[in-house]
Each structure stands twice: as C-alpha cells, then as structure tokens.
Amino acid sequence: MSLALLSAISLMCVDGAMAARPAAHEPAQPIILAQAETPAATQPQPQPEEIAVEDVSAAAVNTAEPGADAVSADLRDDYDGPLAFEDENDEAVVEKLIGWLEGLDTLQGDFTQIAPSGAISEGKFYLRRPGLLRFEYDPPAPLLIVANGGMVYVRDEELETTDSYPAGKTPLKFLLQKKIDRDDARVVSVDRGVDTVAITFASEDEETEGELTIIADAPDLKLRRWIVRDLQGGITVVTLDKVVYGERLANSLFRAPDAGGRFLDR
C-alpha cells in the first residue's frame, strides 16, 4: 500500500465516497487523517472563494505558497502594512507556535476539506492530544477516521471495511505528538500574513511522506487551517470553523471502529 499522502493534512487517499465504488475492497490510502471525495453527481465545483481568507481584500490562497492566505505573492510587494510577529525572527515564531501546539489539550469543531481534485467534503472533528483524533464526514461520504494508539483507522460504512496504518507515516503526527520532536521536525518555511502565520513542517524520517502547513491566527494563535502536500504535489486543505478549545471529550469518540481496538479507560 502506497503511503503517499493525499494520493497526504494529509494527510494523513481515501476514495470511499466516490460514485464509482470498486467491486473488490482495496486498502484505503493514508491521507491527512482525513480525505474523502464526494460522488460525482453531487460534487460541487471548486470555487476560489471557498479557501480565500476573510481578512485581506483582494488576497486569495496561493497553493504554491501555503501561507499566502494573508498577502498573496502578487500583492506582497505592494502591501505596506505590518505582518504578523514582524518584530520577531523566524526561529522565535516557530518556537512560539510549537509551544502553543504542545499546550493544546482538546479542541473540536466543524471542518471543510478541499481535496486535490477540488472535491469538497464537510463534517466534524475532535482532537485530544496527545494521539487522539476523530473525523466524522457528512453524507454522502461514508467515512469515519479515528487516530488512536499510534494508528489511524479508516472506516468505510458503504464497503463495511476498516483499514489502518501508522500515524507516524503522515506529517499530521506533528499535531498529535505530546512534544514535537525537534530533531525530526524540519521547518520548510515560515510565512507571515496580516493576521496569520503559516509554518510548514517536513519530517527527517524518510518513511514520513509529505509536508504539513499549520496556519494559525496571529497574534493569539488559534488554529485556522492546515494544508497537506503529498510527494506528487497534490494539496489538501482542511479549514476549521466553530472551534471549541478545552472541553472534555468522551473516550468513546476515539474507539477504533470495528478493528478490535481497546476502549480507552481514562
């Protein structure tokens, strides 16, 4: 099974919700811990506005520059305003974001996912650090994805199958780790927007495929979006909405679906 992401935040491809279902079960491909394609009959046409940033006029997401959802490459030379954390160097900004990530406990909310094909999926997500994540896709995508015990389980209700793979083989491991391994996490880029900061991580481990860009509001550092780029250049964008931090999440949310996973006791 190829572990290329989105073919991975992706990342960590699952084609479980496509209109043409395979006659025989094929193992799901790891992505961003969440990727689904909506059926062709109902698939919306991708619109740039879906991933445009709300806070900068005339600026749009430039997928060639993951953090450019504040000031696009074409407009940067003409923009005279301050950018996020402009008085701090890149190393300080990276440490600030990592420290904030390591301090996160739980968060939950809605997500909108745009796959490399342009297919749009929606649903709810739950994250309890370290190590626990759940994506519930809205119909027509028949998918449930759960990360638990260092594994990612992909449940396809239509096929009635559950596949699994190691979470450490996707760059979303950086969201799930209790402490981010500085020796493993290589910073590819730091991009500052008007009120966002975007940091792209890759792994020094050759078995971890793809890159993860984390985009957070600045200066208060609230998770806004992540982007996973696979080895073939495919990009999956996951945008978060109605995010709630710090509320208790039930253990049952993270039980491995029909995979013999033990129920969490705490």
Lowest-pLDDT choice from 10-24, 140-154, 225-239: 10-24
Q: How remote is the C-alpha of 33 from its chain's centroid?
A: 7
Q: How far is CA 94 from CA 85, 191, 251, in A?
A: 11, 10, 32
Q: Which two tokens stand for residue 90?
A: 């890149």
Q: How far apart are CA 201 and CA 211, in angstroms?
A: 6
- pLDDT bracket for residue 203 (50, 70, 90): confident
Stretch 126-135: mean pLDDT: 93
Q: Three-state SS for 92? A: helix
- pLDDT bracket for residue 114 (50, 70, 90): very high
Contacting residues for 261 by C-beta, under 8 A, at least 6 apart: 148, 149, 151, 153, 255
- pLDDT bracket for residue 45 (50, 70, 90): very low
Q: Are 53 and 193 in contact (CB under 8 A)?
A: yes
Which residue would you say has higher pLDDT here, 33 or 211? 211
- pLDDT bracket for residue 77 (50, 70, 90): low
DSSP run (H or E) holding 174: helix 173-176
pTM for this prediction: 0.70
| Residue 191 reports pLDDT greater than 50 | yes
Strand stretches in the chain, DSSP E: 106-114, 120-128, 132-137, 143-148, 151-156, 161-166, 185-192, 196-203, 211-217, 223-229, 235-245
The domain ranges of the chain are 48-251
| Residue 66 reports pLDDT greater than 70 | no
DSSP run (H or E) holding 175: helix 173-176
CATH number of 48-251: 2.50.20.10
| Residue 25 reports pLDDT greater than 70 | no
- pLDDT bracket for residue 79 (50, 70, 90): low
- pLDDT bracket for residue 171 (50, 70, 90): confident
Q: Three-state SS for 50? A: helix
Q: How far apart are CA 23 and CA 18, in angstroms?
A: 13
Q: Which two tokens stand for residue 77?
A: 């030379």
Q: What is the pLDDT of residue 142?
A: 87
Q: What is the pLDDT of residue 64?
A: 39
Measured from the Cβ of residue 161, the count of other Cβ atoms closer than 10 Å reads 15
Q: Are 197 and 90 in contact (CB under 8 A)?
A: no
Q: How far apart are CA 83 and CA 182, in angstroms?
A: 26
Lowest-pLDDT choice from 20-29, 96-105, 125-134: 20-29
Stretch 189-216: mean pLDDT: 89
**Across the chain, what does the average pLDDT equal?**
74
**Nearest alpha-carbon partner for 36 in 123, 108, 97, 110:** 123
- pLDDT bracket for residue 63 (50, 70, 90): very low
- pLDDT bracket for residue 208 (50, 70, 90): confident
pLDDT in tens, 89-101: 999 999 999 999 9
Contacting residues for 34 by C-beta, under 8 A, at least 6 apart: 10, 12, 111, 113, 125, 135, 137, 143, 145, 238
